[in-house]
Each structure stands twice: as C-alpha cells, then as structure tokens.
C-alpha cells in the first residue's frame, strides 16, 4: 500500500499519466516496440528501422529510453503498458508477465536477446503469453516447439528470423586504423550466476594473463552492473591501475569484441557473438552452467551452450594453468576453426546481417493477418 502511494505521488506517475493520455488521444501505432531498459533496446532497433522504412506506423514505449531520432516514444513504467493499444506488440525484454502486456493488441512478439537456449537459460514460463517467438536459429525453433508440446500450448508460433545484435554492433565498429597495439589482446566475458569464471578464478586468471604480457579486457554480463558488482569491484580495485587492463561496461557497446584476438568465457551469449562475428575460436572454462530452469531436461533438447562449444572453441578445466595453456593452443591454430564456426553460424544464427530486413517483413505479414482477421470479424458482426 505504501509503495503504491509513493508511486502515485511521484513524478514517474505524472509522466505515465501524460504519456497514457497522449497515447489515447492519437491513433494507435501498428507496431509498439517495448523495452524495459536501454540495454534491451539494442535488439529491436534494427527491426524498427526496417519497419519504419516500409511505412509501418511504429512507436517505442518504456522507461527512460533513448530512441532513434524522430521515433514516436512513450516514456512509461512497465506496469502502465497494459493500458496501451497496438496491433502488434514487440519486445526483447524477458520476464514480462502476460498480465503486464498490452490488453488491446492482436499479436505479441518475443525477440530473444541472446543466442543461448530458451529452455535452460531462462526461467520456465518466460515466454508464456506470446503469440509469436522470433527465433535466432534452428535451436530456438526446436526449443519453442518442445515447450509448446510440454505445456500444451497451441497458439504460440516459432519463426526463424535471426538475431539483431550484429547490425547494432557493426554500426559502432571501431576504425581498424585505431585498433591499436601488437600486444596479444584477450576478452574475458563471464556469464551472470553462481560459479562463473570471475567467482571461480577471476583474480588469479587476470593476474596471470597480465603478467604474461597480454592486454586484457573484462566485459561482465550486464546483470553485474544492473543488480550488483560484488565480484567485479575487487578486481577493479586490484587491476584498475594496470595499463593493460580495461573494464568494459556491458550496458554500452563493445570495442573489445572487434579488437580482441581471443576470448575466454564460460556459458555467456557474448562468446557466441564473438565466435560468429569474428570467426575466431573461444576458450571455454568448464564451470557449472547457468541454469534458470531446472526442469529443462523434460524437454529433451540439449542446450546450445553445451552443444556448440566444441565446434567453436576448446573446453578446459577451471584452473589458471589449463586456461593459459588452452589460450596458447588457440593462438597457434586459430585459422583451422573458421569453417567449423561458419557451419555452426548457419544453423544457430540464421539470416546473419539481415535481421532487420527479415524481421520487418515478418512483422508486416503479421500486421496484414491481424487486419484481415479484424475485417472478417466486422463483416460477421453485420
């Protein structure tokens, strides 16, 4: 009760009310792109840009977002979203309960914000309430079909679309002329959760790599910055003054993704992006997996995080000696991984570099379907 009262008296409530009134005073957008935070926006901007070029009436909604110039935008908190109208609702924000989705919309589209598995890396029920799930690759398609069978869902459609991160990353790719130093550059990308490589061996690994002359960039999962950085802070205090150490904020675009020679990871989606974009192998430290759905085995599909590692890199035990030995091994035969990585990318990241275009085409198709259903409903009524 006290929490609700604080909200009602806040400036946030006033902004929500103004946005809601403005929305209801104007025609509803064809497509409403929603993001719960700025970091979630990057996966849907390529779709918005391509859809807007096709002439579809689009708008953004979410709290405190910086949207493309000229885009219609409603600055709202997520619990007000249910009162908005649109034909097609699109989001890459996970964990949004169906009760908080727009009530007045015909279709609800989920865009995964990672290449990792949908059935193990996300809690059970994360994708409930959606009518369409835009899949990054074959693994997502099979996982959605398995979830539908397991849960008895008949109205949720998997669609092979691709993954929107590449277009955003390519737009911010650093100039190759300033890539910098001949010093070997390692990107470390730990996942969020118990037993990740920072928790297991972070300080020792960074110390060894820096001692051996590597340039090291640490790019933790965004959750380290959003929900607490207890594992990052001690490392920063230890290594912040070392000239070869850099901490990248995962809420911002990555430079190291483009400039690093190799990558060390556990189960992070960033490792898949590095391998598939750069066509370079990853050193995987074999720590416990990120498992937010303990019941994933009931779906009888091996998660991509397990399946793909040996095809795009090598797996080593969670010791500093094993990691540095494996790193030298990758440096010696990087080129031999190219074909294997490309083959995996064809399966697990479809329409590579064309996400915006393909996504907009599918959204236009969905919109046409909703309009046709609406017209048929009106005809039946009369």
Identify the architecture of domain 11-163+353-381 in CATH. Answer: 3-Layer(aba) Sandwich (3.40)
109 pLDDT band, cuts 50/70/90, is: very high
DSSP label of 108: E
C-alpha distance from residue 248 to each of 149, 184, 219 (Å): 41, 17, 5
CATH superfamily of 176-348: Glycogen Phosphorylase B; (3.40.50.2000)
CB atoms near residue 146 (< 10 Å) = 17
pTM: 0.91
Report the range of poorest mean pLDDT among 180-194, 195-209, 270-284, 319-333. Answer: 180-194
Question: Which part of the chain has CATH 3.40.50.2000?
Answer: 176-348
**Looking only at Cα atoms, what is the longest distance across the chain?**
79
300 pLDDT band, cuts 50/70/90, is: confident
DSSP label of 287: P
C-alpha distance from residue 19 to each of 11, 38, 71, 77, 335 (Å): 12, 18, 15, 10, 53
Strand partners, 135: 160
232 pLDDT band, cuts 50/70/90, is: confident
Looking at 228-359, which runs of residues are DSSP E strands? Answer: 245-247, 262-265, 282-285, 313-316
From its phi and psi, is residue 129 left (phi > 0), alpha (psi between -120 and 50) or beta? left
Q: How do the residues of the chain divide into helix, strand and coil, expressed in percent and rounded to 5?
A: 45, 15, 40
What the block records as the tokens of 183 is 């010093």
pLDDT value of residue 233 = 76
C-alpha distance from residue 311 to each of 78, 280, 355 (Å): 40, 11, 24
374 pLDDT band, cuts 50/70/90, is: confident
pLDDT value of residue 177 = 47
- Rounded Cα distance between 102 and 88, Å, is 9
């Amino acid at each position: 009760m006290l929490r609700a009262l604080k909200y009602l008296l806040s400036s946030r409530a006033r902004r929500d009310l103004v946005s809601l009134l403005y929305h209801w005073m104007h025609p509803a957008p064809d497509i409403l792109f929603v993001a719960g935070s700025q970091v979630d926006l990057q996966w849907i901007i390529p779709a918005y840009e391509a859809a807007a070029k096709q002439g579809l009436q689009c708008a953004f909604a979410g709290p405190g977002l910086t949207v493309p110039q000229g885009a219609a935008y409603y600055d709202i908190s997520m619990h007000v979203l249910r009162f908005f109208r649109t034909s097609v609702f699109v989001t890459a924000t996970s964990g949004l309960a169906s009760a908080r989705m727009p009530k007045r919309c015909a279709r609800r589209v989920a865009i995964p914000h990672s290449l990792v598995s949908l059935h193990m890396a996300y809690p059970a029920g994360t994708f409930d309430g959606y009518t369409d799930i835009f899949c990054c690759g074959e693994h997502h398609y099979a996982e959605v079909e398995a979830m539908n069978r397991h849960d008895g869902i008949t109205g949720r459609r998997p669609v092979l679309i691709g993954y929107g991160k590449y277009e955003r990353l390519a737009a911010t790719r650093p100039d190759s002329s300033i890539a910098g130093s001949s010093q070997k550059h390692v990107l470390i990308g730990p996942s969020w959760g118990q037993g990740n490589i920072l928790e297991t061996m972070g300080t020792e690994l960074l110390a060894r790599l820096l001692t051996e002359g590597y340039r090291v960039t640490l790019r933790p999962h965004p959750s380290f910055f959003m929900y607490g950085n207890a594992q990052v802070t001690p490392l920063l205090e230890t290594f912040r003054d070392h000239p070869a150490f850099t901490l990248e904020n995962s809420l911002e675009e990555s430079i190291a993704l483009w400039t690093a020679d190799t990558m060390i990871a556990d189960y992070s989606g960033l490792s898949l992006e590095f391998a598939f974009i750069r066509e370079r192998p990853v050193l995987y430290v074999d720590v416990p997996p990120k498992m937010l759905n303990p019941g994933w085995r009931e779906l009888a599909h091996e998660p991509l995080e397990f399946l793909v590692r040996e095809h795009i890199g090598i797996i080593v035990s969670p010791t500093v000696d094993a990691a540095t030995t494996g790193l030298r091994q990758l440096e010696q035969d990087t080129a031999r991984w190219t074909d294997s990585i490309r083959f995996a990318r064809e399966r697990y990241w479809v329409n590579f570099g064309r996400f915006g275009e393909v996504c907009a085409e599918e959204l236009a198709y969905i919109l046409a379907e909703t309009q046709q259903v609406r017209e048929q409903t009106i005809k039946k009524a009369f």
